[in-house]
Amino acid sequence: MSEQSTYQVGKLLPNWVIRATDQIMDYYIKRYLNCDPIVLDRPPQPQSGHQYMLYAHIPFCKTLCSYCTFHRFLFKEYKAREYFVNLRKEMDYVKALGYDFTAMYIGGGTTTILEDELIATIEHARKLFPSIKEVSCETDPAQIATPTFRNLKGLVDRMSIGVQSFDDNILKLTERYDKFGSGAQIYDRLHEALELFPTTNIDMIFGFRGQSLEMLQRDMDLLVELNPRQITTYPLMVTSQTKKSVKNTIAAKGLELADQYRIIMNTLGSRYRQLTSWTFGRTHDEGFDEYVVDHDEYVGVGSGAFSFLGSNLYVNTFSLHRYGLRIAQGKTGVERQRHFDKHAVLQYRLLLGLFSARLSRKYFRQVHGVNLDRALFKEMLALKLIGAIKDNPQDPDNLIVTDAGKFLGLVMMKAFYSGMDNVRAELRKPLKDIDM
């Protein structure tokens, strides 16, 4: 359990630090998060001694939430079934290159939209890659009510359910009330889903306009009553892909996140172990919601999937049509690439270390061959000066990330993911009817 008592983020991080952080992140996002066109016939082969994770993307939803910035299309069954076949073929291709994986994360979209196809895909992945120890998956409150949802028991180790809020006003604001039911109905459904999987994660979002501290506190209190094994509390991410009308309607202004984050920390921090800046778990060994924290390198399969291998980011085509053609030709789906220099990779890993509150000098020394304090001197000095990190007198190799540092990690990761969403927006922009 956390030793958290009273969390006063406003005092720990002055407003100017939050504003400066947003400006710095904006600078680096514009500098680094852009990709060059490329048609890659073969992805790089696996490197001896490296561990990899497999990411599979399912880009279909029966309804499209206005605030969602992930890569998704309106569900058409014939297209989805064809897509799952191609997804499994791409896995075969990756296997032929010599890859094996320690974990699999299936994201969307709505990953459980065709449960029979999802089951076939998970079984295929486990057969191809016997080193997979954990399969994580995502779903929504409507899917968990279907009679066939229980068929995923025994195949999925960690199921993440996107609830966002139990408050009916927030559900109506985000157009989820008519799609998924009232907060009370969703809450009742969750009771039935909690015992199906070793880990059930409940996804919540804060930072909505009109979301009072009392409303958020009630959400947190209901979560405590529900007692899932894991809870993720995302800040609402507004990007260039989010419609301007929606930005002005649903997003909170200014620094309201700090007060809301205090509510989350005070309620969950005393009952759960904090795994990242926005994830809380009952034990220390469960899978993280953000797979990039535990996996330096991962291979993405499916339309719109990202891969990070070595110092390179690869992005699969966002066109379903082109994806199908390339898989039929025995090629990878990659059509964008970005190479990062050593300093950029180190900055990225520093961000993840801060976000996960696991900032290790030993990791940088053994994995990247650098002295963290020298290689990122300016960054480390700034973090120490604002009180985000401090040395651990009992363990010099592992720095202490303070509560202020955890909130700073949340602010930075929010900006980073918003930047990634902007990349998605740019790659979706040219799509025509034939691509969808």
DSSP 356-399: TT-EEHHHHHHHS-S-HHHHTHHHHHHHHHTTSEE--TT-TTEE
Here the tokens at position 425 are 């927006």
Question: What is the domain partition of the chain in residue ranges?
Answer: 36-293
Place of tokens 């157009």: 175
Lowest mean pLDDT of 224-228, 291-295, 408-412, name the range.
Answer: 291-295
Of the pLDDT bands very low, low, confident and very high (cuts 50, 70, 90), residue 6 is very low
Of 206, 225, 190, 212, nearest to 265 (Cα)?
A: 206
- Phi and psi of 208, rounded to 5°? -80, 145
In the predicted model, what is the mean pLDDT of the chain? 87
Residue 241: the pLDDT is 53
What confidence tens digit (pLDDT) does each residue in 139-191 have?
A: 999 889 888 899 999 999 999 999 999 999 999 988 888 888 999 999 999 98
pLDDT tops 80 at residue 256 = no
Query: Do 331 and 41 form a contact (C-beta atoms < 8 A)?
Result: yes
Over residues 392-414, the mean pLDDT reads 92
pLDDT tops 90 at residue 108 = no
Grouping H, G, I as helix, E, B as strand and the rest as coil, residue 158 is strand
Q: What is the dihedral of CA 141, 144, 147, 148, to 10 degrees?
A: 130
Pairwise CA distance, residues 364 & 377, whole Å: 13
In this structure, which topology does domain 36-293 adopt according to CATH?
A: pyruvate-formate lyase- activating enzyme (3.80.30)
Of 56, 13, 25, 17, nearest to 300 (Cα)?
A: 56
Over residues 27-35, the mean pLDDT reads 84
Question: Hey, which residues does 74 pair with through a beta bridge?
Answer: 61
pLDDT tops 70 at residue 12 = no
124 Cβ neighbours under 8 A, 6+ residues apart = 88, 91
Residue 1: the pLDDT is 35
Decide which of 243 and 415 is more confident: 415
252 Cβ neighbours under 8 A, 6+ residues apart = 207, 208, 209, 211, 236, 260
pTM of this structure = 0.88
Here the tokens at position 352 are 């993840």
Decide which of 268 and 40 is more confident: 268
Amino acid at 18: I
Amino acid at 406: K
Percentage of residues in the chain with pLDDT exceeding 70?
90
Neighbour tally for 259: CB within 10 Å: 13
Over residues 386-396, the mean pLDDT reads 94
Q: List, as own/partner pairs, every contact residues 396-399 make where C-beta atoms lie below 8 angstroms and the sequence separation is at least 24, other chains included.
A: 396/361, 397/360, 397/361, 397/362, 398/358, 398/359, 398/360, 398/361, 398/362, 399/359, 399/360, 399/361
Percentage of residues in the chain with pLDDT exceeding 90?
55
Pairwise CA distance, residues 71 & 57, whole Å: 9
Residue 376: the pLDDT is 96
What confidence tens digit (pLDDT) does each residue in 35-75 have?
A: 888 777 777 899 988 899 999 999 998 877 766 777 888 88
Of 300, 307, 277, nearest to 290 (Cα)?
A: 277
212 Cβ neighbours under 8 A, 6+ residues apart = none
Element (H, E) at 265: helix 256-268
Lowest mean pLDDT of 59-73, 181-195, 276-290, 295-309, name the range.
Answer: 276-290
